[in-house]
Amino acid sequence: MDEVMLDKSLGSTAPRNEPIYLDNFSTTPIAPEVAKAIIDAWSLPSNASSPHTMGARAEAIVAEARGDVANLIGAAPSEIVFTSGATEANNLILLGVAEAAVVAGINRRKIVLSSIEHKSVLVPAGTLEDRGFEVILVPAHDTGVIDMRALAAAVDDRTLLVSVMGANNETGALQPIREIVAIASKVGAYVHSDCAQLVGKLPIDVLDLGIDYLSISGHKMYGPMGIGAAFISASALKPKAIAFGGGQQAGVRPGTEPVPIIAGLGTAARLAGSRMELDAAHGTLLRNMFLDELSSLNSDVEIITQNSETLPGTVCLKVNGIIADDLIESVQRQMSISTGSACNSGQVIPSHVLMGMGFGQVVARSIFRIYFSRYNSKQDAIESAFILAKAIGHLRHPAGQPRQ
């Protein structure tokens, strides 16, 4: 087992000789309390649908977790459907609501999305387009925030669903969900928000917002991979199932409930609710320390989301004159960071999110993201700034090449 250095004043729990982990947009470390809850539940060999004492105990674990997730977002437990993650939740809501509308004879065949949505929203929307739905993509400003004028122009009485994420997974930019709901409600359209990045990081109340559907990811809030949830408002159109089998979860999402990781999700939700302010303040402190240190080292970087409200602890940076993937490769033994680009057929494709914000391919490929989590330390913030500044200097002025 790796030796762990724990400096409580800095909040560091990183194993020695491991890179500083700052790729928390991709996945967060699992909380120790969550890991314990999973192991404890795994010791109970039972199915939550089984009609005996052990089954009842498993069912109670699932019910408690459902309540914990509901409490985190201001929902009723009956409005929470467990899924394998936010990707499945997004698919269930988009495809399921569209199918339910067709079956119910609702004559609305228009879906409005932002251009910066996760692919687990964009791809099922493409499937709906193949099935005869009109899909409108609304652009975002270069701040990472959706163009609300364009959204208002796109939403009309033919619109069935508006889907805009709560916080972007590449920039951390928060989207104006309340205003989006107000626009959609004027024409009777439903609103879905992929809140995989937002839930557990900042307060959200679905009843107060008036939102109809919401997607949750466990591993984006210090919970386990393989589990998430869909919030389906009791007053909204019930999605048709996209998978078929048993009658679990009112038939919306059949299949045996994975009790251990559901317990983990519930624990992660409860933990997030209890320490949300602390985590937000910690992330903001580290982000500011990092940026101050980076600025003092004259690294010539630009904050993309300088003029927008973002998730605490997040920063999206452009390194002038350097390809971000080259920078990431050069520091990978010392720190873990990433871009939002995807690799297709051996060619690196610039992030569709950054392209949707109006950046050209060259600029988009110079942008990367950082997210300071509850488990990062002040030491991480200072050291990562130094590592990046040094790497940027080397990439701009390779050994043997004179400085201009």
CATH match of 275-396 with 1.20.930.40: no
pTM of the model: 0.91
H or E stretch at 288: helix 276-296
Average pLDDT (213-221) is 98
Those residues with Cβ within 8 angstroms of residue 357's Cβ, 6 or more apart along the chain or in another chain: 116, 139, 140, 141, 142, 143, 144, 171
Q: Where in the chain is the domain with CATH 3.40.640.10?
A: 32-273
Fold classification of 32-273 is: Aspartate Aminotransferase; domain 2 (3.40.640)
Mean pLDDT over all residues of the chain?
91
pLDDT at 58: 82
Whether 287 shows a pLDDT value over 80: the answer reads yes
Paired residues of 136 in beta bridges: 112
Q: Where in the chain is the domain with CATH 3.90.1150.10?
A: 275-396
* CA–CA distance, 77 with 68 (Å, rounded to integer): 8
Average pLDDT (102-108) is 96
Q: What does each C-alpha distance from 59 to 17, 53, 92, 182, 294 come to in angstroms?
A: 42, 10, 23, 38, 50
pLDDT at 347: 59
Per-residue pLDDT tens digits for 11-67: 444 455 799 999 999 999 999 999 999 999 998 877 766 677 767 788 899 999 999
Amino acid symbol at 85: G
Q: Of 1, 45, 149, 343, which residue is the catalytic one?
A: 343
- Confirm whether 343 is a catalytic residue: yes
